[in-house]
Structure formats: structure tokens, C-alpha cells
Structure 1
Amino acid sequence: MNAGAASVHASAVKVGNRAVLIRGPSGAGKSRLAFDLILAGRAGQVPEAVLVGDDRVHLDTADGKLVVSPAPELAGLIEIRGLGIHRCAFIDEAIVDLVVDLQAADAERMPPRDALLTRISGVIVPRIPVGTGYSALPLVVAALTMTAISSSAQPAGDCPKGIGNHISPTIATE
């Protein structure tokens, strides 16, 4: 870790080859989402997932990428609400490829494109703003496993409303 690395109140999990940085106020569910991602990896819902750090992590940049590492005093520890602090496997660093902001004030049903990006230490990273009371796990799983629809995509020819909200005329109709 570089001496210039910033210590932040967040959790991080490496899922496959990309790390998810989880931010939010105290009690927002950062540790819960981190643990849920690890379990989703074990269940095969997402690629293998391993803890980077819980509660406090260090952020640095290298080669134009955002790098996350655990706070040394908390390395390998995760809080499981109702069970306490537990030791688990962890890695020393990972490249952040997704930021999840829990209890985000700007969370919307259909967020504008600029809300889906954030800049941290000069690095632009994809972002998911999650509103208070909403489960973050399905959004994160979708972001990690599904291909985004391009803004240039054309709606299906069989969609009478032209908004791509129908699977087929026989399944979903007006």
C-alpha cells in the first residue's frame, strides 16, 4: 500500500476479477452486502467472491485504476450482524470496477447516466446508487452478470409501444 492511500469507511469484495466498493453511512448494510456477495459467489450466482476488507479500506491509484486494500488491523475480519466479528479469507488488493452507494440520496428508479458513474481520486468508476429500504444485492448481481443495454439499441420490432418493455406479443401485451 502506498503511503498516499486514503483510508475510507467502506467494505470491498473481489467478485471474479473485479472489486465492488461498498459505501454508505454507519448501519446502512455495507458488511451485510459484502457477506451476501461472498455467499452469492459460493452459490454460483456470481463469480467466486472473496473479501478485500470490511468497515475500513484503503484506496489508492495505480496505472489509472482505483486499487482497494484492507486496513491492516481489520484484514480478514467481517461483521455478521447477530453473530459478531468473524475471520474469513481475504485478499490484499483488487482493482475497483464498481461502487455501490447505500442509502444514496440520488437513487432513482431510472437513474440518469451520470448518476451511474463516480469519480474517486481522479478515476471514473461505474456506480449503483441504492435508495434507503431497497435491497442492493439484486442490483449488484445484475450489474455483475448482465450486459447493459446501449443507448443506441433499438426496441424490438414486435413492441407496440416502442419502448422495449415487452417480451413478445403473446406474453406481454397492452
Structure 2
Amino acid sequence: MSQLHANCVQIGDYALLLRGPSGSGKSSISLRLIDAGGFLIADDRTDLVARDGRLIATSPATIAGLCEVRGLGIVRGLPQRPEGDVRVVIDLVDDPDLVERMPHGTSEEICGISVARWTLCATDLALEAKIRVALALATGELRLES
């Protein structure tokens, strides 16, 4: 088992990890994705394990069901799931110049499972849509033109 400083949200059948330093917007972005129909798996820390060739995410027991909403406090009761099948990692940056315009798809190995990885700007106005596209690319619902 491994633990990452990341949020995990499920959209449809699959989950994604939002990774970035403290204050990068992981919880705010998670909240927007949940508000649009997603489910919280974990906020701030995510436990990960390989199971049947898939990367499975859960929340540490001490913070399960909790989400820190900056300006409001720690909230319980958001739509949640106990675990998620992670298909993509989104690394958040605060400078749009750090996001490649036409990146080559990359992946990262976590717990022996290869997972698609993308870098996106936390302040991008289309961030939630781009996250949904990244997840669709990772699950094969969409394809990149080569």
C-alpha cells in the first residue's frame, strides 16, 4: 500500500487523483467536480493499493468522508464512495506557462500499475472539462490525434 498527498474523486465509473502542494486548489477543484456529479473518495491524503491489475484508492480511516473547504471548514456529508478505480493523475500547477500546449501522453507507475498523468493549471477556466477529457482519454473513451 502507498499513500499520496492527493485528493481522489470518482466521475462515472472511474476515479482520478488531484496532486499538488498545499494550497494548490485540490479540495476546491474536488468540490467543483463533486458539485457536477462526482463523488469524493479522499481529501488531502489517499491510500492506494494494486488489486486485480487496477489501482484502487481509498481514504485513510481518520479522514474518511471529510473534505476541507477553505473559508468554511471541514465538511462531512458530501456525496462519496468508499473506493475508486484510479485511471488518471492530474498534477496541478499555478502557472499556465508550465502546462505544455501539445504534450505527449505520459504515465506514472503507482503500486506497480501504470496510470496516465497530465499537468494542468489549477486556475484554468476550463479545468473541470479538461479533467473529464483527461479521464476519458485514460479510459479509452476518447483518443488523441497523432
TM-score normalised by structure 2 residue count:
0.84
Matched, 1:138 2:129: yes
Q: Indicate which of 33, 36, 55 corresponds to 1:37.
A: 33
Kept in 1: contact 2:49–2:55 (CA 8 A)? yes
Kept in 1: contact 2:105–2:116 (CA 8 A)? no
Instruction: Structure 1: state its 5+ residue gaps.
Output: 42-48, 152-174
Kept in 1: contact 2:8–2:46 (CA 8 A)? yes
Give the Cα–Cα distance (whole angstroms) in 2 for the partners of residues 142 and 40 of structure 1: 14
**What SS does the corresponding residue of 1:61 show, helix, strand or coil?**
strand
Aligned residue number for residue 74 of structure 2: 85
Kept in 2: contact 1:104–1:129 (CA 8 A)? no
Q: Which has the higher strand share?
A: 2
Aligned residue number for residue 44 of structure 2: 55
Deviation at 1:90, TM superposition (A): 2.0
Find the structure with the greater CA-based Rg: 1
**What SS does the corresponding residue of 1:78 show, helix, strand or coil?**
strand
Q: Structure 1 residues 21 and 132, CA, compared in 2 at 3 Å: closer, same or farther?
A: closer
Kept in 2: contact 1:11–1:34 (CA 8 A)? yes
Q: Structure 1 residues 133 and 104, CA, compared in 2 at 3 Å: closer, same or farther?
A: closer
Q: Which has the higher contact order (CA 8 A, sep 6+)?
A: 2
Give the Cα–Cα distance (whole angstroms) in 2 for the partners of residues 112 and 94 of structure 1: 26
Give the Cα–Cα distance (whole angstroms) in 2 for the partners of residues 118 and 104 of structure 1: 21
Matched, 1:15 2:11: yes
**What SS does the corresponding residue of 1:34 show, helix, strand or coil?**
helix
Deviation at 1:68, TM superposition (A): 0.3
Instruction: Structure 2: state its 5+ residue gaps.
Output: none
Q: Structure 1 residues 53 and 125, CA, compared in 2 at 3 Å: closer, same or farther?
A: same
Matched, 1:70 2:65: no
Aligned residue number for residue 170 of structure 1: none
Matches within 5 A, 1:88-127: 88-103=78-93, 107-114=99-106, 117-127=107-117
Kept in 2: contact 1:108–1:131 (CA 8 A)? no
Counterpart amino acid of residue 14 in structure 1: Q
Q: How many residues align?
A: 138
Counterpart amino acid of residue 82 in structure 2: D
Deviation at 1:137, TM superposition (A): 1.9
Kept in 1: contact 2:94–2:123 (CA 8 A)? no
Q: Structure 1 residues 142 and 129, CA, compared in 2 at 3 Å: closer, same or farther?
A: same
